[in-house]
């Protein structure tokens, strides 16, 4: 059951998040981090999801995302295997599972890892694991290297390729601005079947185990995200194997920083040069665009001049032929 606004505020006050909303910690290092005490998360009960896309609509509204080509009431998109994009922080996919008469639906978004791969790969610390449980992103320090996209095992971060001047990495923030104000994440608030439960992560794990005990025939006895990749703030329970609904079961329980620290150990050596390199690449790219545009304009102008010249010649020729014809006509008369 989803928690109320009052209870959410009470929890935030008890966790001390009201006074530390501006504080956060970077996910890095080789020591396993088991999450902030009293941090929040979301439990997605896949057995309750009906694929209505209410969560998608709420997410778009809350985050002021573009309206999709097909409305949220169009459920035909569930037939596609969609992933999150820079314009859609969450998507629901439909799966046909052997032995199940009805399709299974699963919501996909950032899992807000306890030790995020995106944060461990980001050498400018644009990603932060906050004390609320959310992984947030600061576009003002991002250099556009997109290491986060490569590092994320869930393939969540998306890049604004159609924004040539100020591209950003876009992903779900677990509605961090709403949570610190005592509000529920948009998707949780909108879910008509209470397939999404927001609360303290430790409480969500207890809720999941309670459901396993009460309904042993309904669920697979496993909480996806409790241990995967060191744990995530977004948790899942299901009545079918997770591998059959597009979820990776080969990730293990090792946190991302332990896997990436060796490969990224040399990154700080080039941090000072990276902005210069990117600026140079950008300048070269812009120079090429300018030169190309100039050459294009010159080519168009030359073609236009040539066409105008030929048109002038043709008109002059036509005028002469007209005058000649008129002259012959007068002579015949």
Q: What mean pLDDT is predicted for residues 198-225?
A: 97
| Residue 95 β-bridge partners | 104
Residue 269: partners with Cβ closer than 8 Å, 6 or more residues away: none
* % the chain with pLDDT above 70: 71
Supply the pLDDT for residue 16: 45
- E-assigned strand segments in 48-146: 91-95, 104-108, 127-130, 135-137
| Residues 276-330: tens digit of each pLDDT | 555 555 555 555 567 667 767 776 777 667 767 767 777 777 677 666 666 666 6
Residue 124: partners with Cβ closer than 8 Å, 6 or more residues away: 141, 142, 143, 271
Alpha-carbon Rg for the chain in angstroms: 29
Residue 176: partners with Cβ closer than 8 Å, 6 or more residues away: 130, 132, 134, 136
Where does the pLDDT of residue 22 fall: very low under 50, low under 70, confident under 90, or very high at 90 and above? very low
Supply the pLDDT for residue 138: 97
Supply the pLDDT for residue 132: 96
CA distance 217 to 229: 27
CA distance 121 to 113: 13
């Amino acid at each position: 059951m989803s928690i109320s606004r009052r209870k959410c505020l009470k929890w935030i006050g008890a966790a001390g998040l009201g006074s530390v909303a501006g504080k956060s910690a970077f996910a890095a290092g080789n020591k396993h981090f088991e999450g902030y005490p009293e941090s929040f998360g979301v439990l997605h009960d896949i057995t309750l999801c009906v694929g209505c896309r209410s969560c998608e609509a709420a997410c778009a509204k809350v985050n002021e995302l573009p309206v999709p080509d097909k409305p949220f009431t169009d459920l035909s998109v569930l037939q596609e295997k969609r992933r999150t994009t820079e314009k859609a922080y969450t998507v629901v996919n439909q799966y046909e599972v052997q032995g199940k008469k009805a399709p299974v639906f699963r919501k996909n978004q950032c899992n807000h890892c306890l030790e995020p791969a995106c944060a461990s790969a980001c050498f400018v610390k644009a990603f932060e694991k906050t004390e609320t449980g959310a992984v947030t992103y600061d576009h003002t320090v991002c250099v556009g290297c997109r290491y986060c996209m490569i590092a994320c095992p869930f393939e969540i971060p998306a890049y604004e390729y159609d924004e040539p001047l100020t591209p950003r990495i876009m992903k779900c923030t677990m509605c961090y601005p709403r949570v610190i104000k005592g509000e529920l994440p948009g998707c949780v608030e909108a879910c008509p079947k209470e397939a999404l439960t927001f609360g303290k992560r430790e409480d969500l794990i207890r809720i999941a185990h309670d459901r396993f005990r009460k309904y042993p025939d309904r669920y697979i006895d496993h909480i996806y995200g409790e241990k995967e990749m060191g744990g995530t703030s977004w948790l899942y329970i299901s009545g079918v194997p997770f591998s059959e609904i597009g979820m990776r079961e080969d990730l293990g329980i090792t946190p991302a920083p332990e896997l990436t620290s060796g490969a990224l150990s040399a990154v700080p050596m080039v941090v000072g040069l990276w902005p210069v390199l990117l600026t140079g690449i950008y300048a070269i790219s812009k120079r090429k665009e300018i030169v190309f545009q100039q050459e294009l304009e010159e080519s168009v102008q030359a073609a236009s001049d040539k066409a105008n010249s030929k048109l002038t010649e043709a008109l002059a020729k036509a005028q002469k032929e007209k005058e000649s014809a008129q002259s012959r006509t007068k002579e015949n008369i």
